[in-house]
Chains A and B, each alone.
Chain A
Amino acid sequence: MANITLKDIAHSYTGESKNPDDFALKKLDLTWRDGGAYALLGPSGCGKTTLLNIISGLLHPTRGEVLFDDQDITDLPTEQRNIAQIFQFPVIYDTMTVFQNLAFPLKNRGRSRKEIEPRVIELAKILGLEKNLYTKAQHLTADSKQKISLGRGLIRKSVNAILFDEPLTVIDPQLKWELRSQLKFLHKKFGFTMIYVTHDQTEALTFADEVIVMYEGKIVQVGTPEALFEKPEHTFVGYFIGSPGMNVCPCDLQKDRIFIEKYELALNKIYGEVDPSSKIEVGIRPEHLSLAPPDTTGLPVKIIKVDDIGRHKIVRVALKDKEFNVVAPELSGMTGDSCSLIFDIDHTNIYVNDHLISGERM
């Protein structure tokens, strides 16, 4: 068991290069605490899998070092690292029985049959596979197969970290739920470090103590699920987390007030001078916007569309050609399609070139 540290890691699939665009993974530094549950969140192609493969040793990073505690293991081959990896599609050895599948990693490491057998049976019980121990693995359902893949990771007691690469993609929704809680239980029981790649935010948020959001090969934010929701440090995090995502709208900034389409909005913070050539945007979650009857103190907007999604409504409103999503419990007291948009200024964030800037509270 050890902390895993990535030191100045960068990776390019075409080899060392001066052009930063060649890098699938741009320079990153990160430490995974021993026993932590991490979710790695990001859109397809943002470098999540590349990062996992570097940790497990399937890829050798173009630059940087991988450390287990203080030991540099960058050049250690995969099979000698105490890492297991579960893939998107269940990987099983078709011609073997469930027992043989689970025993395979130990057998390859030359363990004796005496040692392997009780371990396999014990693990099969925990995973709920004991009834099928002697069936050919290929005859099982997708979720059982994925349990076998997981079992092959857990069978080695020395396993440091288990990397999950979107492991529930091919599982039916209700079984997904079940497997997810089983994973949580196993994580508690065995205390391995868990790094869970997904592009499903619910999955990430329910699982992890800490969520790492990646975007275009960079880590844009590391934080608890709450922090990601309340204070997205990058507009991408705002878009990506929450449903619907954060509203991001270009604006002009003047100390303690912003102007959206010439309409003024007072903030409760003072911001310093910002280079006028940079991109300045205001970001606010749909949950922190509200609607009021027209001519109240707010921005005059027009309602374009209302989606009723059960407990609340998602209202799409337009301020000239700028559009916002608003989560509204009820549309009472409003007639016609014009109304006022009210910002909750405590939750209004300002972004310069996509990055959150902090202001001084007044």
Chain B
Amino acid sequence: MIVKQVNQKAWFMVLPVFLVVAFSAIIPLMTVVNYSVQDTFGNNQFFWVGMEWFTDLLHSERFHDAFLRQISFSAIILAIEIPLGIAIALAMPRKGWGVPVCLISMSLPLLIPWNVVGTIWQIFGRVDIGLLGHTLTALGIDYNYTQDPIAAWLTIIAMDVWHWTSLVVLLCYAGLCSIPDAYYQAAKIDGASRVSVFRYIQLPKMQRVLLIAVLLRFMDSFMIYTEPFVITGGGPGNSTTFMSIDLVKMAIGQFDLGPAAAMSLIYFLVILLLSWGFFTVMSNIGEESSNGGS
């Protein structure tokens, strides 16, 4: 019988990757897990509390509110940015001097750092010196994002749409450009209307890039921190305290490490779960009658 020689050397090759992942992800995550099951009264003394922080958090109204605000924000953002992005991409020229002009002006907002975007809009919306705030007030519209929750939400949503719609546009534009001319020509010969061309050619061909766009925009908007922090700081009241802002308040403001750690983990799992959900649903669109082929 031949004894199969197993060469274990390959494990050493994996070691560098393992180390990198360990230091970048596993160890930091485990410290958070560690905090989430313990309590401390200072002096670096910790007590085992088991799942208590998780149960507390899942029953706390504060968490529910923050979660609701967060999910509504993401839903609104996706509902605006995805259709708007598709519409702009469809309207962009395919050739000529307009292409670079459009592409560059679309990329500009993406190049601005988050906190600068926050600052721009913070000033832009101010009633005393901001162009937007001052104009609206002069027009007789009651707008003050530091006092009115609705105004604060509108400001943050407008800012996010301004900042990130271009990403959706660029992705969709890339998808549209990859459709061969023959499809449009065939549609003309078949007598298809403009709506049919969109519904049966452009949308299916954009499906993959749209999946990426939705995932990226969902994850980003669900984790949004810097911009609302700079603009409203979570206010007025708690009306724009999203999960990330709440988390920072809890962890650094109140120094409740245990609950904050539990919240981080739940936060992480929610993002993971929802992203997986989006991915599964969107990659299965149009596949329901799949029976192999070729």
Contacts from A to B (Cβ < 8 Å): 53, 56, 58, 77-79, 83-85, 87-89, 91, 93-97, 104-105, 108-109, 134-136, 138-141, 149, 152-153
A79 near B291 with CB under 8 A, answer no
Given the known interface contacts A94-B286, A135-B293, the answer about A108 and B188 at a Cβ–Cβ threshold of 8 Å is no
Q: Are B200 and A96 in contact (CB under 8 A)?
A: yes
Q: List 16 A-B contacts (CB under 8 A).
A: A53-B185, A56-B189, A58-B185, A79-B188, A79-B189, A79-B190, A85-B186, A89-B180, A93-B201, A95-B286, A105-B190, A136-B287, A139-B294, A149-B186, A152-B186, A153-B189
In the complex, which residues of chain B have a beta carbon less than 8 angstroms from the beta carbon of A56?
A: 185, 189
Instruction: Decide yes or no whether B191 CB sits under 8 A from chain A.
Output: yes
B-side contacts of A91, CB under 8 Å? 180, 182-183, 185-186
CA–CA, A178 and B188, complex, Å: 29
Most buried by A among B186, B196, B290: B186
11 further A-B pairs in the complex, CB-CB below 8 A; given A138-B293, A139-B294: A53-B185, A58-B188, A83-B189, A93-B200, A93-B204, A95-B204, A95-B286, A108-B190, A108-B196, A134-B289, A138-B286
Contact partner of B204 (CB less than 8 A), chosen from A94, A97, A135, is A94
Identify the closest chain B residue to A91 (Cβ): B186
B residues 142-176 near A (Cβ < 8 Å) are: none
Interface residues of B in 275-294 (CB under 8 A from A): 286-287, 289-294
In Å, the complex CA distance between A109 and B201 comes to: 18
**Residue among A94, A134, A152, A153 with the highest chain B CB neighbour number at 10 A:** A94
B80 on the A face (CB < 8 A): no
Q: How far is the CB of B286 from chain A (nearest CB, A)?
A: 5
Q: State how many angstroms separate the Cβ of A145 from the closest Cβ of chain B.
A: 10
B-side contacts of A96, CB under 8 Å: 200
Given contact pairs A95-B204, A96-B200, A136-B289, A141 touches B294 in the complex (Cβ within 8 A): yes
Q: Is B24 an interface residue (CB 8 A)?
A: no
Enumerate the 3 nearest inter-chain pairs by beta-carbon distance, A residue then B residue, closest first: A139-B293, A79-B191, A108-B191
Q: Closest residue to A77 on the B side, CB-wise? A: B188
Q: Kindly list chain A residues whose C-beta atoms are within 8 Å of the C-beta of B293.
A: 135, 138-141
Interface residues on chain B, size class = 20 to 34
Complex CA gap A153/B189 in Å reads: 9
**B75 beta carbon closer than 8 Å to chain A:** no
Flag if A135 contacts B289 (CB, 8 Å): yes
Cβ contacts under 8 Å, B196 to chain A? 108
User: Is B193 located at the chain interface by the 8 A CB criterion?
Assistant: yes
Give CA–CA (A97, B290) in the complex, Å. 11
Q: How far is the CB of A295 from chain B (nearest CB, A)?
A: 60
Most chain A CB within 10 A, of B182, B189, B192, B290, is at B189
Residue from A56, A78, A89, A95 with most neighbouring chain B CB atoms (10 Å):
A95
Q: How far is the CA of A95 from the CA of B284 in the complex (A)?
A: 12
Q: How far is A96 from B204 in the complex, measured between Cα atoms in Å? A: 10
Shortest CB-to-CB span from B156 to chain A, Å, is 36
Q: Is the beta-carbon distance between A85 and B185 smaller than 8 angstroms?
A: yes
Chain B residues, CB < 8 A from A88: 182
CA distance A285 to B85 in the complex (A): 61
**Residue in A closest to B290 when the chains form the complex, CB atoms:** A139
- Cβ of A108 and Cβ of B180 under 8 Å apart? no
Kindly provide the distance from the CB of B272 to the nearest chain A CB, expressed in whole angstroms. Answer: 29
Cβ–Cβ < 8 Å partners of A108 in chain B: 190-193, 196
In the bound complex, residues from chain A placing their C-beta under 8 Å from that of B294 are 139-141
Q: Which residues of A contact B200 (CB under 8 A)?
A: 93-96, 104
Min distance, Cβ B16 to any Cβ of chain A, angstroms: 42
Residue of A nearest to B200 (CB): A93
Residues of A within 8 A of B183 (CB): 91
Smallest CB–CB gap between A260 and chain B, Å? 48
CA distance A105 to B291 in the complex (A): 26
* Residue contact A109 to B191, C-beta cutoff 8 Å: yes
Could you tell me the distance between the alpha carbons of A85 and B289 in the complex, rounded to whole angstroms? 29
Q: Is the CB of A87 within 8 A of B186?
A: yes
Chain A residues positioned under 8 Å from B287 (CB to CB): 136
Cα-based distance from A260 to B225 in the complex (angstroms) = 86
How distant is the Cα of A149 from the Cα of B182 in the complex, in angstroms? Answer: 11
* Contact B185–A87 (Cβ < 8 Å): yes
CA distance A323 to B17 in the complex (A): 63
Closest to A85 in B: B189
The complex places the Cα of A237 from the Cα of B201 at a distance, in Å, of 40
Complex-state Cα separation, A93 to B286, whole angstroms: 11
Q: Are A104 and B192 in contact (CB under 8 A)?
A: yes
Nearest-CB residue, chain A, relative to B294: A141
Q: Give the docked Cα–Cα distance between A94 and B186 (Å).
A: 13
Whether the Cβ atoms of A87 and B291 lie closer than 8 Å is no
Least CB distance from B218 to A in Å reads 23
**CB of B88 to closest CB in A, whole Å:** 23
Which of B188, B191, B200 is most buried by chain A, counting CB atoms within 10 A of its CB? B191
Q: How far is the CA of A84 from the CA of B208 in the complex (A)?
A: 30
Per the bound structure, the CA–CA distance linking A141 and B193 in Å amounts to 27
